[in-house]
Amino acid sequence: MESLLPENTIYVNGAFVPATGAHISALDRGFAIGDGVFETMRAENGRVFRLAAHLHRLRGALRSLDITVHQSDAELETALGDLLARNGLVHASVRLTVSRGVPEARGILPGRMLSGPTVVIQAMPLSDYPAEKYAAGFTAVVASVRRNETSPASRIKSCNYLDNVFARLEAAAAGADEGLMLNIAGHVACGSICNVFAVQKGRLLTPPVSTGILPGITRGVVLEIAAREGLPTAEADLALSALRASDEAFLTNSLIGLMPLTQLDGRPIGPGTLGPLTRLLRQRYLTLLAAETHQ
């Protein structure tokens, strides 16, 4: 959960400016047709957790769109740190957005550009869910919108997030916290804002990238922790029936970390409470987060 503060300073194309006065062109392709990508990151003590992984994913997405950002990773890291310091933020959500910029003419193909890519960084106070929510877990419904595993857009964090918005609107209308999306083949893919994990007889399962999911940074951290703990894991297609029958399940993203998934379509997953393996992995994640962002 993020607090949008209009008095904050933001970064736009190399300049730090008041959020209330900052603007980009109405002709920018990111605004006009969603031609861009973004990263949402968690910062503690003025340091972004797993920044290198976020920037690596961002660069890969930009290459797939043939967008070249001239700032180096070191320059972006400096800008992120400066922005956090200028806003006096210790516990923060950071969003780095890159769009293709302003074109010379309208059209789907970019053609000649009047400006280079637009780079915007925002940093906002992060309000965590209360401990009671992590104990109770998220409720979810299966959304009608499908994740298209054949589309390259499914594997990047694109500025066109409408499928995710539709899924979240369905969840909200049903009184649930999250909307889960199946892919075209009918397998469990992801939530509107998260990756999905299931626990079955002590084995950790998560859908592979081939199902059309975003390769989440926190998802990767969980797999890393599981390997370190010697837990059996598999990236494999996950049927909806198998998720429903799991002993426990949880969701991951950079801001919520690990959130138990305790109810799906009004029915409990396992006992409908925080499971022991989810608890262990969340504790290990929080320990790692603190260690890597300690100053």
Mean pLDDT to the nearest integer, 139-165 = 96
d(CA 218, CA 131): 19
Q: How confident is the model at residue 73 (pLDDT cuts 50, 70, 90)?
A: very high
Mean pLDDT to the nearest integer, 109-131 = 93
Q: How confident is the model at residue 1 (pLDDT cuts 50, 70, 90)?
A: low
d(CA 250, CA 240): 14
- Using one digit for the tens of pLDDT, what is the confidence trace for 197-211? 999 999 999 999 999
What are the residues whose beta carbons fall under 8 Å from the beta carbon of 104, sequence distance 6 or more? 111, 112, 113, 114
- Using one digit for the tens of pLDDT, what is the confidence trace for 81-117? 999 999 999 999 999 999 999 999 989 999 899 988 9
**Annotated domain spans of the chain:** 9-125, 131-293
Mean pLDDT to the nearest integer, 265-270 = 97
Top CATH class of 131-293 equals alpha beta
- Using one digit for the tens of pLDDT, what is the confidence trace for 22-64? 889 999 999 999 999 999 999 999 999 999 999 999 999 999 9
Q: How confident is the model at residue 122 (pLDDT cuts 50, 70, 90)?
A: very high
Residue range 9-125, CATH number: 3.30.470.10
* Mean predicted lDDT score pLDDT of the chain: 95
Q: Is the pTM of this model over 0.75?
A: yes
Does position 5 have pLDDT exceeding 90, yes or no? no
Mean pLDDT to the nearest integer, 168-177 = 98
d(CA 241, CA 238): 8
What are the residues whose beta carbons fall under 8 Å from the beta carbon of 132, sequence distance 6 or more? none
